[in-house]
């Protein structure tokens, strides 16, 4: 947690890891106690647990007793074909044996918070199946994973060609979000639906057998130091599971790859001559003199996107872009040529 001031506005920033599987998932063996302990070591403020089609982790003593980090237990559901994965929070129900249109609508009606998991997937090797999102309607969900570490990594894996290198140096193969995920997200927002973007690790600690030996790849302790979604809360906000989920739903957040560096003094937002300002996920009325300000720990490439299209760029550590027309604006920040920070949109109306 850190406290910062944006345009004279006091906010609290929390860093968190999203989309985590525990021993309550069929494809993970890591106990939640170990994950919580590791998260404390890395000063992670919140964890979002999403075991497959169950909420069993809610009953764990370590979850009930953990105040730091906050542990938010949801689930990852899928349809009969094992596609259309959805991360669901603030619901006590598990909908199985039905299609995605049905369970997205049901969760929406009961006011659960949901995010589409890995909306677009690729595979370099036919040995590994894709888990695709097949619905074109995103009106019943609250956001999308625009960067999923495991999905991005698995999409480039060719065991006979690069398997050893990808296991030993996984971060060399996950430099940016998949282009298709960003395009889907931008298209949804341009259509006026205002859906939040999140970054996730999809951690399993996958066991792999080699002869008589079994070892785990992409361990939780490794991935917890990679992609996170940092949220912004007003200074007087109670830090709770509910306030964290509301910030994620509203897009008051940005995605950061901690393997590229700590965003220790980063901030960005839009401000005008009339004293009005907006941070990620908020809206601001268009007026002459609006500027999208940014500050970073060092010189980076900053790309400005308006309505999903790159409209300007600069290489600097602090500065601004002039906002000359209405639209949804976000930043993509590259460090050493690789993806570092991806902000949610600010809406100029």
Q: Residues 188-242: pLDDT tens digits? A: 999 999 999 999 999 999 776 655 666 788 999 999 999 999 999 999 999 999 9
Percentage of residues in the chain with pLDDT exceeding 70? Answer: 98
Q: Which of 289, 235, 288, 296 is nearest to 261 (CA)?
A: 296
Higher-confidence position of 126 and 146? 146
Report yes or no: 80 and 97 within 8 Å, Cβ to Cβ.
yes
Same domain, 159 and 107: yes
Here the tokens at position 330 are: 């976000």
Same domain, 214 and 295: no
Last residue of a domain, one of 241, 260, 279: 260
Q: Residues 264-290: pLDDT tens digits? A: 999 999 999 988 999 999 999 999 999
Cα separation of the two ends of the chain: 31
Average model confidence (pLDDT) across the chain: 96
Same domain, 168 and 314: no
Residue 94: predicted pLDDT? 98
Could you tell me the sign of the dihedral formed by the alpha carbons of 330, 336, 337, 338, in that order?
A: negative
Same domain, 272 and 163: no
CA angle 70, 194, 203 (to 5 degrees): 40
Last residue of a domain, one of 260, 285, 315: 260
d(CA 52, CA 20): 10
Domain enclosing residue 326, as ranges: 267-348
Residue 163: predicted pLDDT? 85
CATH number of the domain enclosing 293: 2.60.40
Residue 97: predicted pLDDT? 83
Same domain, 318 and 230: no
Residue with tokens 């949610």: 344
How many structural domains comprise the chain?
2
Q: Residues 52-104: pLDDT tens digits? A: 999 999 999 999 999 999 999 999 999 999 999 999 999 999 998 899 999 99
Here the tokens at position 165 are: 């290198």
Same domain, 69 and 158: yes
Same domain, 238 and 337: no
CATH number of the domain enclosing 229: 3.20.20.140
Each residue of 209-237: b (16+ CB within 10 Å) or e?
eeeeeeeebbbbbbbbbbbbbbbbbeeee
Average pLDDT over residues 109-127: 95
Residue 234: predicted pLDDT? 97
Same domain, 171 and 281: no
d(CA 219, CA 231): 24
Counting Cα atoms < 13 Å in the Cβ hemisphere of 87 gives 28
pLDDT at residue 159 greater than cutoff 90: no
Last residue of a domain, one of 260, 278, 294: 260
């Amino acid at each position: 947690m850190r406290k910062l001031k944006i345009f004279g506005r006091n906010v609290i920033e929390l860093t968190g890891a999203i989309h985590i599987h525990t021993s309550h998932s069929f494809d993970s063996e890591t106990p939640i106690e170990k994950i919580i302990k590791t998260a404390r070591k890395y000063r992670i403020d919140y964890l979002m647990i999403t075991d497959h089609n169950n909420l069993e982790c809610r009953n764990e003593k370590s979850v009930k007793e953990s105040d730091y980090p906050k542990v938010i237990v949801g689930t990852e559901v899928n349809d009969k074909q094992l596609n259309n994965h959805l991360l669901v929070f603030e619901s006590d129900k598990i909908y199985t044996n039905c299609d995605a249109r049905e369970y997205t609508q049901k969760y929406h009606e009961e006011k659960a918070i949901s995010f589409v998991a890995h909306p677009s997937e690729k595979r370099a090797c036919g040995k590994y199946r894709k888990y695709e999102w097949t619905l074109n309607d995103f009106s019943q969900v609250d956001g999308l994973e625009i960067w999923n570490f495991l999905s991005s990594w698995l999409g480039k894996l060719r065991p006979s060609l690069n398997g050893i290198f990808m296991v030993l140096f996984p971060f060399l193969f996950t430099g940016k979000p998949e282009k298709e995920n960003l395009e889907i997200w931008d298209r949804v927002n341009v259509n006026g639906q205002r859906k939040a973007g999140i970054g996730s690790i999809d951690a399993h600690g996958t066991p792999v057998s080699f002869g008589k030996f079994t070892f785990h790849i992409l361990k939780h302790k490794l991935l917890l130091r990679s992609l996170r979604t940092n949220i912004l809360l007003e200074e007087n906000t109670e830090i709770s599971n509910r306030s964290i989920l509301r910030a994620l739903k509203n897009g008051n957040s940005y995605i950061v790859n901690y393997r590229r560096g700590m965003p220790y003094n980063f901030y960005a937002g839009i401000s005008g001559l009339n004293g009005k300002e907006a941070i990620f996920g908020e809206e601001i009325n268009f007026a002459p003199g609006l500027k999208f300000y940014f500050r970073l720990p060092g010189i980076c490439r900053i790309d400005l996107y308006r309505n999903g299209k790159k409209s300007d760029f600069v290489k600097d550590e602090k500065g601004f872009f002039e906002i000359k027309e209405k639209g949804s604006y976000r930043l993509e920040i590259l460090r050493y040529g690789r993806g570092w920070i991806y902000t949610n949109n600010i809406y100029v109306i």
